[in-house]
Structure 1
Amino acid sequence: MGIPPRSASGGSRGQGHQVVRAAAVGQEQKQLQRPGKAAAGKQRGGAALVMAKRGAAALVVAFLLIAVITLADAHRPAPAASPLVCKKAYGVKEHETCFAVAQATRLPLKQFLSFNPNINCDNLFIGQWVCLAAVPAA
């Protein structure tokens, strides 16, 4: 920049400094309006806040998942105290179901299933051996 021109009234050099100072203030205002390092810092700060919120949400989801799994495990039936020994077996015939076999032998379905803990009632096959009476192993 050059030396500012003097005013018609013969202003002093102090007025020239005021013009230069005003120009400098104008430049500072323009820099504040431009997205620069300060704006990027604010963006990074905002991103950190978003990440913190996502992290907190992830922790809440993980906690709820653990709670659900724990509760699901609590409702599973306890394993038999001792293994059972089958005393009476039966061979499944065509078109029979677990319910039909239990009903025909006058066993409650729950007891039939306890005698046959590994049975897949959705996939019985002809000739499959099922237990109709069992006692605890000695």
Structure 2
Amino acid sequence: MAKPNDKVVSFILILSLLLFITLVESKITIHEGSSPKSEIECSKVVNVKDGDTCFDVSHTFGLGSDEFNAINPNLKCTALFVGQWLCVDGTLF
């Protein structure tokens, strides 16, 4: 029969393994989905207001979806929140 200490050690090892796998998967996802490294210089930002969507903001400032996404690379349009800053004019280099 396993001692309580053996159960705790086993639990910690399994938890550590799951954490390791999660970290490895997140790094793979980041590297697979990312484009070559580039810098973004944002020269104008706007504050998200209640009811704003990425489409509304990009349309208001005359940005195509590709351009808007390029200057806001980590933005999740499905999770905008009031007060969030969005880049609406920038340069990629």
Q: TM-score range by the shorter chain?
A: 0.5 to 0.7
Greater strand fraction, Structure 1 or Structure 2: 2
Alignment identity in percent?
A: 34
Tell me, what secondary structure is at the counterpart of 1:122?
helix
Structure 1 unaligned residues grouped into runs of 5+: 1-72
Q: CA deviation at 1:89?
A: 0.5
CA RMSD between the two structures:
1.7
d(CA) in 1 for partners of 2:92 and 2:51?
A: 31
Residue type at the aligned position of 1:102:
S
Q: Larger relative CO (CA 8 A, sep 6+): 1 or 2?
A: 2
Matched ranges for 1:11-90 at <5 A = 76=33, 79-90=35-46
Greater helix fraction, Structure 1 or Structure 2: 1
Structure 2 unaligned residues grouped into runs of 5+: 1-31
Task: Look at both structures and tell me which one has the larger radius of gyration over its CA atoms.
Answer: 1
* CA spacing shift, 1:103–1:95, aligned 2, 3 Å: same
TM-score by length of 1: 0.41
d(CA) in 1 for partners of 2:80 and 2:59?
A: 16
Deviation beyond 6 Å, 4+ runs, structure 1: none
Residue deviations 1:6-26, cap 9 Å, x none?
Answer: xxxxxxxxxxxxxxxxxxxxx
